[in-house]
Amino acid sequence: MRCPFCAHENSQVKDSRPTEDGAAIRRRRQCESCGARFTTFERIQLRDIMVVKSENRREPFNRAKIEKSVAVACRKRGIDQERIDQLVSGIQRQIETSGENEVHSRDIGGMVMDGLRVLDSVAYIRFASVYRDFSEAKDFEEFASTVKDVGGGGGGGA
Ligand SMILES: [Zn+2]
């Protein structure tokens, strides 16, 4: 486990015990280089979650896919990468703690929309235009007009 202070690759485990609820192991570690102490948690990955796509095709949940579509929506919007990561992590956590073994891709899309709505309205509209798969430009305009506070941006295409 890499030291968060000096990035040295090796640390020694000084102490190892389960958390109160028994769901994780907490390890106290000490960096072999700078001597800093830090704590890590080891958790069970409970399930392999499947994403249900259109026509009932299924594929394993893949965080990178959410990251990618969010990144496309947020392109050139000057949004902190940290806030984007938080958004994606929040969605992942929501899915992992849902208790379900499957999640519909449209539900993931809805979670991304909820997150982007708060984060950046232009990114929100960009994502929504793909997510809702508008067949007619008119629909999209109608939808866009319901979203307030669209910052200057312009620029058109994705
Ligand atoms: Zn260190």
Tokens standing for 118? Answer: 């708060």
pLDDT tier at 142 (50, 70, 90 boundaries)?
low
For residue 51, list its beta bridge partners. Answer: 59, 103
Cβ(156)–Cβ(140) below 8 Å: no
Q: Which residues surround ligand 1, an ion (CB under 5 A)?
A: 3, 5-6, 8, 31, 33-34, 36
Percent above pLDDT 70 for the chain: 79
Question: What number of residues does the chain have?
Answer: 158
Cβ(83)–Cβ(98) below 8 Å: no
Q: How far is the CA of 25 from the centre of ligand 1 (A)?
A: 22
Cβ(19)–Cβ(26) below 8 Å: yes
The pLDDT of residue 65 is above 80: yes
pLDDT tier at 144 (50, 70, 90 boundaries)?
low
Q: Which pLDDT does position 105 carry in this prediction? A: 87
Tokens standing for 130? Answer: 């793909």
**DSSP-derived 3-state class of residue 131:** helix
